[in-house]
Structure 1
Amino acid sequence: MTVLFTTPPVSGRQNPGMPTQITEFRAPTRRALDFLDGHARLLERRLAQAWFAAPDPQHAHAVLHALEGHRNADGGLGHGLEADVLAPDSQPLAVDFALEVVEQVLQSPSGQHDSVRDHAHAFAAGLPAYLAARAQDDGGLPIVLPTIAAYPRAEHWGDGEFPAGLNPTASIVSRLRALEITSDWTTAAEQFCARHIETLRTAESLDAHTALTVFCFLDHAAEQDRAREVAAEIAARAATWTSFHLYPGSGYGLGPLDFAPGPDHPRRGLFPADAVEAHLDAIQQTQQPDGGWPLSWQPPGPASELAWRGVLALRNARLLHAFGR
């Protein structure tokens, strides 16, 4: 097995994009933060504090405590953490969502403290046992389990019958290894991802969500020169990805800003500059009077819609501020 897809020890923190202290906001960002105050879940409100309030590790700890409220006895996470699946039982999808939040916490101005990293490590340490129990023999995870069929869920999750895949295995295992969480399962999962990523280099089609999880995995690869080469090969076919809008378009889809959420992000050069600017223009043009943004898909109910609008408002507030909009 090549060493390209092993995860190196964590040697420091990166915080691309956001300044360490924010004292002024342009109008679109201010309106987005007002929307969060009035409409978002506790999780997104506390995460907004970690990014936009004066740096304080207590803001970061509060986000992790909010995530802990979604923990189940099996060590996994559920209870609508990912708001398109309202099943109370644990789901790999919820673990993936949680670990992305943990990553954001550690990148935030309020997350730059050893106590926060220790808290994040403790939060994640119980996850591999749950994941190992839900993984296939080769380490791969399905994104959701058939148990979701008994609960409200967005239409795109169907009956919950999904094969194991890079989405979510690659992003889950890479973020666990970034937190220095290792187990027999993480080893098997890394090997699963390495095999499947190699096949993507010649694949005729690729879903944008899978591409995003692959890039997350490559971000933590030991051989970064090789990882960047593979990422560039995959990104060169971005215009052919499914569920992706290289330039703003109608309907649901990820865009360049989901892959490079800051002007100095390492993946910024993978996408045309005018595509990035067009997506930033679209964010400003589609902000609604309440300060939030509409969804491009149908969530399972009004509570889920507000939850997702909060997630989207925080994402867009960070993007607008990072790019000086």
Structure 2
Amino acid sequence: MSDSILDTARAFILREGRLLERRLFATLFEAAPAGGVVDALRGYRNEDGGFGHGLEPDKRCPDSLPIDVEVAFQTFQTLLTAGVPATDPMVPRACDWLATVAAPDGAVPLSLPVMEAYPRAVHWSDWTYVPGLNPTAGLAGLLHGMGVEHPWLTRATDWCWSALEKGFPEDAHAMSETLLFLEHVPDRDRAERLAERVGEWLPQLKWYRSDPADPEYGVTPLHLAPHPGSRWRRLFADDVIEGHLDRLAADQQADGGWAINWEPPGAAATLEYRGVETLRALRVLGAYRRVPSS
């Protein structure tokens, strides 16, 4: 059964996925050199040092946007998890770019009004122009996890501490970004004091989906604890994790890929995001030993 999940998902990614997801799959599951992933990622980079061109597929804007920079950092973090150091000069150059669009306190928004000239999903609207924990905390957490140092990161980290010590976010997406920050930020005593309150806060979050049987869109425990060694795995009972793993495996479609339950701006973006989600599902199922992993 697990081999069938992996084999059919591989066929889907090879048939329908972007070059980036194909190269990532090859590196993570077939021991291919990581240089191909970095080369594919380079195609989304702009001269200003940021990333764009629909790296996050729900908007087709070629200009650099913070959300696309975050996806680039997530890719480097994935390679680091696979044992490949994230030393590429694209990372500090992207931090230089973030500094140019950040508020004076260091916070950045998800996107910028320049995207309005291009196709995008309906949820990519003006609320994404407001600096916040989503994505500032996630960007900072990823950089700390990679051991990066940068003046913008220092400002962003100070801003995240200030924001979090006033209260946790009310949205599960922002909370997911917050957990990245708390997991990787160097000041562990300060982080652990805040981490003690995370469990009681989760049930209050908008878009948090704790029930594996719930078919609606949402952030699940497997998004927050994508592998057994996650700092946040202890927040969830074993039966909750197992239930979500059962649901994740069962959600594989007949074509080998995983579906998405939101509407991207077009058919190409839909397939691209399905490739992203298929690779995510395989990584989670592999980490929890439901499918063979690298």
Which bracket does the TM-score occupy, shorter chain normalised?
A: over 0.9
Corresponding residue for 2:21? 44
Corresponding residue for 1:140? 107
Corresponding residue for 2:204? 240
Bigger drift between 173-182 and 145-154 goes to 173-182
Corresponding residue for 2:142? 175
| Partner Cα distance (2:215, 2:81) in 1 | 31
Shift of 1:160: 6.1
Instruction: Tell whether 2:66 aligns with 1:92.
Output: yes
Shift of 1:225: 4.5
Corresponding residue for 1:274? 239
Structure 1: gaps (5+ residues): 1-23
- Deviation track 1:10-38 (CA, whole Å, cap 9, x = no partner) reads xxxxxxxxxxxxxx952212221221111
Structure 1 runs (4+) greater than 3 angstroms displaced: 177-181
Instruction: Tell whether 2:219 aligns with 1:254.
Output: yes
Shift of 1:161: 5.2
| Partner Cα distance (1:96, 1:253) in 2 | 20
Bigger drift between 267-276 and 163-172 goes to 267-276
| Partner Cα distance (2:142, 2:252) in 1 | 31
- Deviation track 1:254-299 (CA, whole Å, cap 9, x = no partner) reads 1000111122323111122222111111112221111111111000
Q: Of the two structures, which has the highest relative contact order with CA contacts closer than 8 Å and spacing of 6 or more?
A: 1
CA 322–175 in structure 1, closer or farther in 2 if over 3 Å, else same = closer
- Deviation track 1:105-145 (CA, whole Å, cap 9, x = no partner) reads 1111xx44xxx4333xx120201221111011111101110
From 282, 285, 289, give the equivalent of 1:320. Answer: 285
CA 211–161 in structure 1, closer or farther in 2 if over 3 Å, else same = closer
| Partner Cα distance (1:180, 1:28) in 2 | 35
Shift of 1:229: 3.8
Contact kept, 8 Å, 1:70 with 1:81, in 2: the verdict is yes
| Partner Cα distance (1:47, 1:216) in 2 | 21
TM-score, length of structure 1 as denominator length: 0.84
Shift of 1:245: 0.3
Where 1:98 maps in the other structure, the secondary structure is helix
| Partner Cα distance (2:266, 2:257) in 1 | 17
CA 277–52 in structure 1, closer or farther in 2 if over 3 Å, else same = same
TM-score, length of structure 2 as denominator length: 0.92
Corresponding residue for 1:4? none
Contact kept, 8 Å, 1:232 with 1:270, in 2: the verdict is no
Bigger drift between 302-311 and 157-166 goes to 157-166
Q: How many residues align?
A: 289
Structure 2: gaps (5+ residues): none
Contact kept, 8 Å, 1:144 with 1:160, in 2: the verdict is no
**Matched residue type, 1:118:** T
Q: Trace 1:277-292 onto structure 2 (pairs within 5 A).
A: 277-292=242-257
Give the fraction of aligned pairs with identical amino acids, expressed as a percent: 38
